Amino acid sequence: MDEKFLKQVAEAPAVALGRTLDTSKQLVKDVTNHKDMKRAREYWHTLGPGLTTGAADDDPSGIATYSQAGAQYGFQFLWLAPFTFPLMAVVQEMCARIGLVTGKGLAANIRAYYPKWVLYICAGLLFAANSLNIGADLGAMAKATQLISPHLSFDTLILGFAIFSLALQIFTTYDRYAKYLKWLALILLAYVFSALSTNLDFEKLLTHTITPVFDVSKEWIFLVTAVLGTTISPYLFFWQTSQEIEEEIMQGKTTIALRKGTTDKDIKDMRMDVWSGMFLSNLVMFFIIAASAATLYANGVTNIQTAADAAEALRPIAGEFTYLLFTAGIIGTGLLAIPVLAGSASYAISESFGWKYGLYRKLKEANAFYGVIIISTLIGLSINFLNLDTIKVLIYTALFNGLIAPVILVLIILLSGSKKVMGDKTNGPITTILGWMIALIMGLAAVTTIYFFFV
């Protein structure tokens, strides 16, 4: 008998076993990959209002503020990103929980339990601050687009962006609108990639991330207030609460009675959503400061007026790739943030006066609600024709936010800690401590800024 044949027969079981093991390994790998994909899909499905709220926080005005911080002070402001992350997340979690438990928006709850004049003043200041912010964002988006296509008219661009934003809110169903905002949030990753494409000094990066640097100069105080104002912003409080309501309405809970109350699972999913969104927001803040410090500050470019200025300054220093990513991010975040700014002001005012409200409603069902959105956007549009100093507009916006935030934060902490309002879903001790700490910090920032402003 052929010796080669006998050898193959003898080795056949081992070969078969080897093939079986290889097949088993591949099967285990396939199953693991399938489970990972399933977990990823479940996680993405869990994300919603928290993700879009966090992403909207990094609007073109915020990008300009963070870029200015990096350009003027290098890596010194990096510590603010990890410092504000848990504070921001705790506030947004309280707002979301209020919406889930009560079935009503933040302004509607304040109206029910506290003096109306307090709410009216806060809603009015919020409307003013948001309108200024919308104006700054529209201008930044138009200038960023001109960097890519210089032949396009500035006036045409801001008008086009304003009309597109209004059409999206007024004529798109909330289901489609929410999906659009959710996917658009991923544009923020452009800032992470743009920073990583520069020559970062990781030793300095780590040092300034964990070591706060303080300066008592007027410019430093103003910039800290601007960073706090654009990071822990009142419009996010109202938007977060109202979007939790919109999500429940989309699930068929069309009355307050149906929405009132929530489950532990819903709270858990909401927390995952909120903390993920705020992590993304602060991660992007961190990398914008880092990119500006490593490029602009390192090359003596220390004065940034707009987000578009930051992108343009990056071009000869960091290269075409970084410049294009930064520019695309300005346009994308503007498209995400402007509807949130206009919408949050409208939620606050509509709930304050007891009007019908909600993006799930059609225009004819909520004329006043959509009217506020339109007026706020038009005011923002008109600001771009007044030749105002953009940085001053941002500082005034931050100042408004600094004035409003402490008052609203106090009301949020009291509402979310009240058993009468929240039942058994009140704040825990850590949440309460952090909440009062945030209110104190924002209050001190506002008072200090006002003092330096008039001195």
Q: Does residue 16 form part of some domain?
A: no
Q: Does residue 37 form part of some domain?
A: no
pLDDT at 9: 47
pTM greater than 0.75 (yes/no): yes
For 284: left if phi > 0, alpha if psi spans -120 to 50, otherwise beta; the answer is alpha
Residue 47 backbone phi and psi in degrees, to 5:
-70, 145
| Helical (H) or strand (E) element with 37 | helix 3-46
Quote the crossing angle between the two packed helices 390-416 and 80-102, to the nearest 10°. Answer: 50
CA-CA distance, 285 to 191, in Å (whole number)? Answer: 9
| Arithmetic mean of pLDDT over the chain | 82
pLDDT at 3: 58
> Two tokens at 298?
């390192």
Q: Does residue 19 form part of some domain?
A: no
Residue pLDDT, tens place only, 43-60? 767 777 788 888 888 888
Q: Looking at residues 403-414, what average pLDDT do you find?
A: 87
Question: Does the pLDDT value for residue 244 go beyond 60?
Answer: yes
**Domain holding 149: CATH number?**
1.20.1740.10
Q: Looking at residues 31-46, what average pLDDT do you find?
A: 69
Would you mind telling me the total number of residues written for the chain in this entry?
455
The count of C-alpha atoms lying within 13 angstroms of the C-alpha of 205, restricted to the half-sphere facing its C-beta, is: 16
Assess contact for 46 and 270: CB atoms under 8 A. no
Collect all residues with Cβ–Cβ distance below 8 Å to 231 and sequence separation of at least 6.
57, 62, 80, 84, 88, 281, 282, 285
C-alpha triplet 285, 52, 408: angle, nearest 5° = 80
Q: Looking at residues 202-219, what average pLDDT do you find?
A: 84
Assess contact for 412 and 435: CB atoms under 8 A. yes
Q: Does residue 12 form part of some domain?
A: no
Residue pLDDT, tens place only, 23-34? 555 655 655 566
CA-CA distance, 77 to 66, in Å (whole number)? Answer: 9
CA-CA distance, 392 to 406, in Å (whole number)? Answer: 22
pLDDT at 377: 94
For 153: left if phi > 0, alpha if psi spans -120 to 50, otherwise beta; the answer is beta
Q: Does residue 415 form part of some domain?
A: yes
Burial of 78 (0-12, 13-18, 19+ CB in 10 A): buried
Core vs surface per residue 145-163: b (16+ CB within 10 A) or e: bbbeeeeeeeeebbebbbe
Q: Which domain holds residue 385?
A: 48-454
As for how many domains the chain has, the answer is: 1
Q: Does residue 38 form part of some domain?
A: no
Residue pLDDT, tens place only, 311-363? 777 777 767 777 787 788 888 888 888 888 898 999 999 999 989 888 888 88
Q: Does residue 430 form part of some domain?
A: yes
CA-CA distance, 65 to 60, in Å (whole number)? Answer: 9
Q: Does residue 172 form part of some domain?
A: yes
Residue pLDDT, tens place only, 262-279? 888 888 888 998 999 899
Residue corresponding to tokens 């010796």: 3
CA-CA distance, 409 to 413, in Å (whole number)? Answer: 6
pLDDT at 448: 84
CA-CA distance, 95 to 112, in Å (whole number)? Answer: 16
> Two tokens at 28?
């285990």
pLDDT at 168: 83
CA-CA distance, 222 to 225, in Å (whole number)? Answer: 5
The DSSP code for 426 is: P
